[in-house]
Structure 1
């Protein structure tokens, strides 16, 4: 009996600690939460973000803390504050949880209003201006700080570099320093902030890239290219051709190269830096213009002639020499105008003769007569002995409504004696009128405005012959554009040129061929060209230069003409409409802008070219 009581008492004693522990566990969790609550502190007032902890370590026990706010617009649940013009009080509630125990802690926190100075300081800290720039600056006119708007005005110590609106003007040569001042204004208080900014100069690469972006050529070549040696900003250029027998490094497109491909490489140089760009072309020789330039003259077809680097001339001791061209295959040619560029004089001359083949039969060689600068050159209108074609003033016309299939020219150089300087031939051209022919030109890359400063001359101020000298007046304007002056020859410079260009055989001043021969006799490259569209004319104006154009008809009611020459010096668009800029020698003021529709109507598609 005593032994049972002993065992029972022992069992009770052994179980007592477990019972005691099991009964006190919730009280221990609550005690941990209570201790955590006691350690949780927040300021009564603040001007900075609050540290709202999410866990508290109580003797190795991690108590979780979750926060709620009575006004998210003032203090959010992460403790970020948003100050305003007035003090704002917010109730923050913390929920503390450990195991199964939890409790709440409530805090009243007042977010103090921002002072004007604090707003300005914060606005100052938010301003970001780069220490150097190559682009316009974003100079803002206001800054929002905690829902408060700060006004900003700017000053620049040099608006030629950076304006107070932030517009940057970079130098092409050197970096530039500028001082910008931001004046921050809030509630009547002002804070000025100074920034030192370096505006970086354009680099040589940037400048050369800009030039290259503007440098455009047609991908299909039909005429010579203008290859500048100098560009803005002091950039120089050298050119190289992949095939000088097709296209020279000077941009000269050689004859009879249709179907060929060629490339040009330009090397730009600026301040020791170089950049290259290569342009690729295919060649489509214009069917309506046959040009033989110096490079095209075949020495095996010369008699008593020699080809130098600058011209074709008579051999030493020879007083006459001849060049016979190849036979050029053509299609549906109704008429043609031959012309030449050669330095001549009263004792050294050239004579161009042309023949055509029609239905397998060649015409005679029909001559433009012997021509020399300063002679009374006499053109003649004659027919071929077999009536295949005829020379009519300046045009070779195929008879009987038929068409030519081949053309060939012969040019004869003469001088009065071996000791006289040789004539110097540089070019022969044939401008073809082709039935049913069109010649599309890609005008999409042409500039919107082209205008050459061609000197202006009125033909009608010249006594007696003024109403007849539109052609030599136009030639005079082109020559003066090239830098010539004839004021030492005559008070009326165009009267002097008229005497040189006159066709004394027909007693006219308007022989197209003789007029361009004057330009060639002075060392220029000049020839007659037929064009087939206003786009082709615009392309020539943009890429070669001004021309003298033959017109016939009503000139916008100003006058009507049966035949007249004007200088077309450029073109422009006004209100989306195309106008051609003209020096019209028949107008008192000379300068005029004709509608494109007028030029389309009156132009005879013939032009005097001076390169």
Structure 2
């Protein structure tokens, strides 16, 4: 199964953001620095034109938000007839405790809707752009403003499709037959051992495992508590906002982004590079989407950590929904996992790693051009 996806990012080098339109802010060493003088401050990307007309897109970001500051992110689409939509708010973020933050309120306009962290269009669109707007407490005038370090756009088809073009990352379908590759040292944490709501903490527990891996920390409880409070979205009323999860990882020092992968095979180079991936999946055997070996019968949305592949190509997972820590590590059939991943979220993964870590080219699968 190959599924059409694409992505682009700003923030990889000193020339990043130089083609953005800036309003009362500046680019400094590959970052956008926003002032804090009480005036409207914004930065707008150029139009991004994918190699195919997608039906949904996700924006994710890494930024610093000192004091009572924050950044709001909006997306605008350009239709096939050349007309532009209005701006859709994808939420306001701040890592500062008590500062305003939350996903965008429900928005629907001419077949386009915001679904917490994803902008979905009933009709494919031709191009898109993103805008970052600085927010401050009314009394905040003299302190530093936010700094935007990275922005990623990830887009895809509405559902998995077959396509005759080249795969994004090469290799056999599902990743079978290439030999064992596994990342050692990822903490094994269960969300189910926490009686105060842990059954819905799959996203922060998965992210805690990955953050703990990179930090060299193995004790789950403090990692889970730090991450749970860090990713919470009060508008959504939960912990599963994809963009907020990677924004938190960025706030604690990592490069973090939402990427849509076209297949499970495309994830293998990342595992080989030592980067565990957090996958957004769902399954229900009664509805024709089985996931043999899963710890619960079904899920309409779940995050889990891919840490490797065994000699038979089975996916090696750190499964946060395991009933206890001893059963977190398990394997899934690659074809079942891939189907439950692509059909559920369009191949969404949290990609988190330290600055300077050598990684594959996640944006190299499909040609992307950027207009001025």
What is the TM-score when the length of structure 2 is the normalising length?
0.77
Which sections of structure 1, spanning at least 5 residues, go unmatched? 1-285
Aligned counterparts, 1:134-533, within 5 A:
288-294=6-12, 295-298=15-18, 301-309=21-29, 311-315=31-35, 317=37, 321-330=41-50, 331-345=52-66, 347-359=68-80, 360-373=82-95, 374=97, 375=99, 377-385=101-109, 387-399=110-122, 402-416=123-137, 417-434=140-157, 436=161, 440=167, 441-443=169-171, 448-483=180-215, 492-533=222-263
Distance in 2, Cα, partners of 1:581 & 1:369: 34
Flag the structure with more relative contact order, 1 or 2, with Cα contacts below 8 A and sequence separation at least 6: 2
Distance in 1, Cα, partners of 2:214 & 2:40: 32
Say if 1:320 and 1:415, in contact at 8 Å, map to a contact too: no
Aligned-pair CA distance for 1:466: 0.4
Deviations 1:233-260 (A, max 9, x none): xxxxxxxxxxxxxxxxxxxxxxxxxxxx
Distance in 2, Cα, partners of 1:484 & 1:420: 34
Say if 2:212 and 2:223, in contact at 8 Å, map to a contact too: no
Of residues 536, 546, 555, the one that matches 2:291 is 555
> Do the aligned partners of residues 332 and 566 (structure 1) sit closer, same or farther apart at CA in structure 2, a change above 3 Å counting?
same
Deviations 1:268-309 (A, max 9, x none): xxxxxxxxxxxxxxxxxx961121225320266222222222
Say if 1:351 and 1:368, in contact at 8 Å, map to a contact too: yes
- Matched with 1:569 is 307
Q: Count how many residue pairs are aligned between Structure 1 and Structure 2.
A: 318
Deviations 1:10-40 (A, max 9, x none): xxxxxxxxxxxxxxxxxxxxxxxxxxxxxxx
Q: Does 1:541 align with 2:271?
A: yes
Deviations 1:176-210 (A, max 9, x none): xxxxxxxxxxxxxxxxxxxxxxxxxxxxxxxxxxx
Distance in 1, Cα, partners of 2:146 & 2:238: 25
Distance in 2, Cα, partners of 1:348 & 1:484: 31
Aligned-pair CA distance for 1:346: 5.3
> Which secondary structure state, in structure 1, belongs to the residue aligned with residue 75 of structure 2?
strand
Distance in 2, Cα, partners of 1:381 & 1:317: 27
- Matched with 1:580 is 315
Say if 2:20 and 2:45, in contact at 8 Å, map to a contact too: no
- Matched with 2:368 is none
Say if 2:71 and 2:92, in contact at 8 Å, map to a contact too: yes
Deviations 1:318-366 (A, max 9, x none): 7653111111112221111111111225512111110111232222111
- Matched with 2:352 is 610
Say if 2:92 and 2:104, in contact at 8 Å, map to a contact too: no
> Do the aligned partners of residues 354 and 484 (structure 1) sit closer, same or farther apart at CA in structure 2, a change above 3 Å counting?
farther
What is the TM-score when the length of structure 1 is the normalising length?
0.48
- Matched with 2:366 is none
> Do the aligned partners of residues 527 and 309 (structure 1) sit closer, same or farther apart at CA in structure 2, a change above 3 Å counting?
same
Distance in 2, Cα, partners of 1:466 & 1:550: 17
Distance in 2, Cα, partners of 1:532 & 1:377: 31
Say if 1:346 and 1:372, in contact at 8 Å, map to a contact too: no
Aligned-pair CA distance for 1:526: 0.6
